[in-house]
Structure formats: structure tokens, C-alpha cells
């Protein structure tokens, strides 16, 4: 059965996700140690620091290091993937895993991305909310109406067939939430995030991020890497512009999952800070087989019980 690997983004990180991994898995330890050298701070300590995990400039490289460390340990337990897909930040881990992006270059890139995004959201505060519905057209129409009244609110993340995250100014999201509930939406869940990611509120980060990307070399990937932004595989000719565009455009994770299923991929393996993506896969590709690797217990289950806690 063709396999697809999934790589998580920020949002699910927690201080327990790295517990016991560093001590028990040499390949994970090697990635964390290399990350500390590249970034200039103790990555293992930051992974166990709740404040750091909530700070975007740290969160992004920490999540990539953790996710890629898990991948390095467990990848050989599975059939080589036909395609890979990351959610937002997870696209960078996917590109690294595919060989399209060197790990050290990728880590430096997401560290700069995190800093630029943090600067942007501090200058133009925003927030997000998860709208639980299958009626995306209704949500889009409500958001358009709120924008017509002068507030900023946009579709941000099409996560599954039943969840669309919206983002914008605090007032815009508040007004949209009220209008959605009035329109019959049962659940709109405020998210504890640093800003309105994947919306035009992040435009201030684009130019500087493009300059950073200009210094990075990408190579032909070993397997297909789907883009959240274009809903198509990344192409070397356009990859840098697509990654710049990703900052201010919605992610289409659910649509990418459906495209993978159309290619016959019905087994998904997730590497990341939690099991969010396999939950999305369960809702979007209902008959799929799913494995999520995000902490010691889930990795131990895949690798075997010989790995006991030190």
C-alpha cells in the first residue's frame, strides 16, 4: 500500500513531547545536538521550557528539530513514502525529509521565519478561531461580509472536511464569530495563538523572508512534496515564491490529503509535536490507516518495547 508521511506544524507542542527521547534514541539525540550547535542555544532545554514553546521565534526551529529527530529514528520502520505533506511549518520538515532542503539550512531558515513572523504579529496583532462546519462557503461569505464592513478576517487553514480556521484582527475575528453563530454554526473555538498566521496580516514578513530564501539552495526531492498553498507538488522553479506566498495565504491541508488519497495513498504516518494531522486524516480520508509518532510512548510502540525509560 502506498504510504504518505505527514509533518506537523506549530500549535501542538508541549513540554512533555521530548521526554525520554534524547536519552533513549541516539539518532534523535544527534539531531538535537546538531540543532543546538546551529541555533546557538540548548535545544533540549528549550524543548522543556514552556515559555520558549509559546514563543514563535523558538517554536518553529524546535518543532522542526523534534519532528525531524523522530523521522530519523523511525523512517526505516515504514515503506518509503510515495509523497509527503506538512502543515504550514511542517512543510519545511517535509522538504528536509525529502532531500529538497538541507537540514542545517532548513533549521536556520525556519528560525529566521519564526523571528520575522513574530516581529510581524507584534507590529500588527491578530488572532484565530477554528470553525467546526462542513459549510465552508457559508464561512467564506460571512468573512467577506465582515471585510466589507472594514474589518480584517480571512480563511487561514482548511484542516479537514469539518474544520476551517479563520484569522484576522481581534475585532474582525470577534465580529465573524458572532456572525457565524448567528448564521447557525454550532462551534467556533478561539485559538491561543500569537497572531493571524496565513493571512495578509503577515505581509510585513514577506520581503525579508524572500531575501533569506534567496540564499538557500533547494534540490530535486526524492519523493513528491505537496504544497499547502498551491494544492500541487512543489516545483523547483517556483518553490521560493510559493514559500513566501505561504505566509499570507491559507493552507489547504485537507485538499492535499484528498489528492494523496486519489493517488492511492491510504496509509499515513505522522511525525510532529502531537497527533493532530492523523485526526485530520481520519476525518478527510476515512478508510485510511494512520500512525502518529510524536513522543516517547508513540515512538516506542513503533520501534519495539526494548526501548525502556532510562
Residues acting as catalytic residues? 88, 198
- Judge whether 210 lies within some domain: yes
Residues 96 and 204 in one domain: yes
- Residue 305 confidence class, pLDDT cut points 50, 70, 90: low
pLDDT at 118: 95
- Residue 15 confidence class, pLDDT cut points 50, 70, 90: confident
Helix residue ranges, H only, the chain: 21-24, 26-39, 43-47, 50-53, 56-74, 90-97, 103-123, 136-148, 170-182, 206-213, 239-246, 253-262, 276-284, 296-303
pLDDT at 192: 82
- Judge whether 310 lies within some domain: no
Count of CB atoms situated within 10 Å of the CB of 123: 11
> What is the rounded distance in angstroms from the CA atom of residue 219 to the CA atom of residue 102?
9
> Can you tell me whether residue 186 is helix, strand or coil?
coil
Last residue of a domain, one of 191, 220, 247: 191
Domain extent at residue 98: 3-122+200-303
Q: What average pLDDT score do residues 289-297 get?
A: 96
Residues 107-151: tens digit of each pLDDT: 999 999 999 999 999 999 999 999 999 999 999 999 999 999 999
- Provide the CATH number for the domain around residue 253: 3.40.366.10
Residues 47 and 96 in one domain: yes
Residues 38-93: tens digit of each pLDDT: 999 999 999 999 999 989 999 999 999 999 999 999 999 999 999 999 999 999 99
> What is the rounded distance in angstroms from the CA atom of residue 257 to the CA atom of residue 280?
9
- Provide the CATH number for the domain around residue 167: 3.30.70.250
Last residue of a domain, one of 159, 191, 223: 191
Please state the domain count of the chain: 2
Residues 157 and 110 in one domain: no
- Residue 14 confidence class, pLDDT cut points 50, 70, 90: confident
Residues 90 and 208 in one domain: yes
- Residue 185 confidence class, pLDDT cut points 50, 70, 90: very high
Strands ordered across the beta sheet of 163-168: 153-160, 163-168, 127-132, 187-191
Q: What is the bridge-based pairing of β-strands 163-168 and 83-86?
A: unpaired
> What is the rounded distance in angstroms from the CA atom of residue 153 to the CA atom of residue 172?
5
Residues 20 and 105 in one domain: yes
Residues 62 and 173 in one domain: no
> Can you tell me whether residue 81 is helix, strand or coil?
coil
- Judge whether 309 lies within some domain: no
- Is 21 a residue whose pLDDT tops 80? yes
Residues 139 and 94 in one domain: no
pLDDT at 306: 59
Residues 118 and 134 in one domain: no
pLDDT over 70 percentage in the chain: 98
pLDDT at 310: 52
pLDDT at 1: 82
Last residue of a domain, one of 191, 210, 227: 191
In the predicted model, what is the mean pLDDT of the chain?
95
Amino acid at each position: 500500500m502506498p504510504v504518505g508521511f505527514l509533518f506537523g506544524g506549530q500549535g501542538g507542542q508541549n513540554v512533555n513531547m521530548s521526554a525520554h527521547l534524547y536519552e533513549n534514541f541516539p539518532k534523535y539525540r544527534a539531531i538535537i545536538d546538531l540543532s543546538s550547535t546551529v541555533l546557538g542555544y540548548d535545544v533540549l532545554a528549550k524543548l522543556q521550557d514552556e515559555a520558549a514553546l509559546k514563543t514563535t521565534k523558538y517554536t518553529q526551529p524546535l518543532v522542526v528539530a523534534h519532528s525531524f529527530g523522530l523521522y530519523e529514528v523511525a523512517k526505516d520502520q515504514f515503506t518509503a513514502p510515495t509523497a509527503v505533506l506538512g502543515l504550514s511549518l511542517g512543510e519545511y520538515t517535509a522538504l528536509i525529509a525529502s532531500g529538497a532542503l538541507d537540514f542545517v539550512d532548513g533549521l536556520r531558515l525556519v528560525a529566521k521565519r519564526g523571528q520575522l513572523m513574530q516581529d510581524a504579529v507584534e507590529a500588527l496583532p491578530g488572532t484565530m478561531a477554528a470553525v467546526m462546519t462542513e459549510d465552508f462557503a457559508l464561512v467564506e461569505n460571512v468573512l467577506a461580509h465582515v471585510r466589507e464592513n472594514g474589518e480584517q478576517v480571512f480563511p487561514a487553514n482548511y484542516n479537514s472536511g469539518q474544520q476551517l480556521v479563520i484569522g484576522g484582527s481581534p475585532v474582525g475575528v470577534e465580529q465573524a464569530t458572532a456572525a457565524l453563530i448567528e448564521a447557525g454554526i454550532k462551534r467556533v473555538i478561539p485559538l491561543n495563538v500569537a497572531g493571524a498566521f496565513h493571512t495578509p496580516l503577515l505581509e510585513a514578513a514577506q520581503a525579508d523572508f524572500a531575501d533569506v530564501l534567496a540564499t538557500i539552495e533547494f534540490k530535486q526531492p526524492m519523493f513528491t512534496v505537496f504544497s499547502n498553498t498551491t494544492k500541487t507538488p512543489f516545483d523547483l522553479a517556483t518553490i521560493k515564491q510559493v514559500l513566501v506566498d505561504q505566509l499570507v495565504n491559507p493552507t489547504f491541508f485537507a485538499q492535499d490529503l484528498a489528492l494523496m488519497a486519489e493517488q492511492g495513498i491510504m496509509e499515513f504516518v505522522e511525525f510532529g509535536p502531537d497527533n493532530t494531522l492523523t485526526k485530520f486524516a481520519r476525518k478527510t480520508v476515512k478508510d485510511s490507516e494512520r500512525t502518529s509518532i510524536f513522543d516517547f510512548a508513540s515512538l516506542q510502540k513503533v520501534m519495539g518495547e526494548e526501548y525502556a525509560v532510562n
